[in-house]
Amino acid sequence: QLSDQQMSDSPLSQFREVYLPPALHPLNKTFVKDGKWKDVDSTQEKRRSFLHDFCKKYNSRKKLRTHLVHLVSRIYVEDRHKVLYCEVPKAGCSNWKRVLMVLNGLAASAHNISHDDVHYGKHLRKLDSYDIKGIYTRLNTYTKTIFVRDPMERLVSAFRDKFEHPNSYYHPVFGKAIIKKYRHNANEEALKTGSGVKFKEFIQYLLDSHRPVGMDIHWEQVSKLCYPCLIKYDFIGKFETLEEDANYFLQLVGAPAELKFPKFKDRHSSDERTSAEVVRQYLKELSKEERQLTYDFYYLDYLMFNYTSP
């Protein structure tokens, strides 16, 4: 990590100028040999110009004065194909990391890399592990991608994953604190294990400005994980069209033809995927006001990526 002194000596003030307003570069399509990507490509151009116009209107300079190193702390680097991938949890990130490992020559196939190996094996470098020059060079020359998901779906998916299944981190760390603060007649068992958090309690925690435990990347806003108005992403994928987008992106960066984005659901594979219908069931547990406040919490994500408000 850099000290504040090193930070103020580094070209950070210039960094803000360089990236705002971001110019929209044409995507390099030299590797795309196939005519079948026309629709995916035009969707891509629409998403890019939509985000670009949004960022021009919403001047984020006032809101996001933050260190370069912090800005890039969620971005994974794949040097062989010159790819930067900003990780948004619950939007296909495990399979993306598998693909990056294959691209990087760390694995032969995406299909036999375990979940733990993806998330806890230190195989992939993050952009904040390079020096300022290394960060700059990659930001300016690599193909930068982000994959996003409807904010409510992502939120419910995170809740189901972390709180409805046994979890040796989220139950004791988040669960205990949430039950202690928001469940008035909590029994000792619940207070001891932190298991059984209800969606409504989770939302109370999320919306509490004095929340008893900090934020977590699984429900942090994409605007704060990836800073899409400060870092100009070349490619915006959506979970809703994940395979199509991902396979087109792999073509764009010249990936081996046989590498396809994996289809499998990474965890709790027997569970139904979190769909709009599943989300509706969960939102029923909230009051009208809580639903509105939750939407407000994610409203930038809704706006930037053109999701319809629920």
* Residue 235 bridge partners (DSSP): 145
pLDDT at 52: 92
pLDDT at 247: 95
pLDDT at 306: 97
pLDDT at 268: 72
Residue ranges in the chain whose pLDDT is less than 70: 1-23, 59-66, 266
pLDDT at 64: 53
pLDDT at 11: 45
pLDDT at 33: 77
Residues 6+ apart with CB under 8 A from 289: none
pLDDT at 45: 94
pLDDT at 22: 52
